[in-house]
Structure 1
């Protein structure tokens, strides 16, 4: 089989390296392995952005038909990434600050930052401004599950909380205790 890009059923364009059997295994040469890891990291982040996926688990390597199956498996060459190798790639994502273990204190599941928390903070603040939510107290639920879909729809709470904390450090948001948990008030930029 020739190395060529391939479009998945979800419309994602896989790079030609995805057709190379060695891509799915750890390489013995450290220089080669570093290049392959960079390719995997780029691929995982762009796929997560394409599908709006926030969580990657070591177990996803075994989940045939799962959310990540199109990228972690290549049926055309009969290859899939093994759990141990995916675990190492997940550790690299965390090391490069493009993912964080979620929940903390375990190493089998990460929150993927296809947008960095700082970018989510800016997106959140722009959304609050464009929807007229400045100086209004909103619940986290109202932000992540709005009546009209937004770029923040389905954002995981740990990522939302991190973005709000970033905004709070620049006096553009404040976390507020409300009867049902936590809320947030946004302030205009100065």
Structure 2
């Protein structure tokens, strides 16, 4: 079978490497494995952004019908990523700062940074500005589950906290304790 790209049901275009059987197994040559890992990292982050997925678990390799099944498996060539291989890919992603183990102190689940926390901070502040939320106290729920879908809809709280911490450091926000938990107030950036 020749290597070819494929558009899957979600409209995502899989790269041609996805139709190569060796892509799904760990390679004995460290140089070859390094290149394959880079391609996996790129594929995972691009797919996550396309689908707005924030979490990837080692178990997703075994779960049929998971959000990740389309890229962790290729039925046409009867291949799937084994849990140990995905584990090493996740480890590489964490080392590159494009993912973080979540919850911390385990290595089977990561929070994906298809946008870095600094980029989320900019998106968050831009959203607060464009929706007239400056100098208003908002709960995390107000941000992650707004009445009108936004780029921040369903953003995981750990990632939201990191973005807010960046805004607090730069003087564009203030963390506030509210009755329901955590909140934030956004400010106009000082010039």
TM-score between both structures, scaled by the size of structure 2: 0.99
Aligned match of 2:77: 77
Aligned match of 1:68: 68
Aligned length: 190
CA root-mean-square deviation:
0.4
Aligned match of 2:160: 160
Unpaired runs of 5+ in structure 1? none
Distance in 1, matches of 2:15 and 2:117, equals 27
Matches within 5 A, 1:33-44: 33-44=33-44
Distance in 2, matches of 1:164 and 1:106, equals 24
Distance in 2, matches of 1:174 and 1:12, equals 38
Distance in 1, matches of 2:187 and 2:18, equals 45
Residue aligned with 1:110, SS: strand
Matches within 5 A, 1:6-17: 6-17=6-17
Unpaired runs of 5+ in structure 2? none
CA drift at 1:153: 0.2
Distance in 2, matches of 1:133 and 1:88, equals 42
Residue aligned with 1:28, SS: coil
Residue aligned with 1:143, SS: helix
Deviation string 1:37-84 (CA, Å, 9 cap, x unpaired) is 100000000000000000000000001111000000000000000000
TM-score between both structures, scaled by the size of structure 1: 0.99
Distance in 1, matches of 2:90 and 2:31, equals 19
Distance in 2, matches of 1:130 and 1:89, equals 37
Residue aligned with 2:100, SS: strand
Distance in 2, matches of 1:142 and 1:182, equals 11
Residue aligned with 2:76, SS: helix
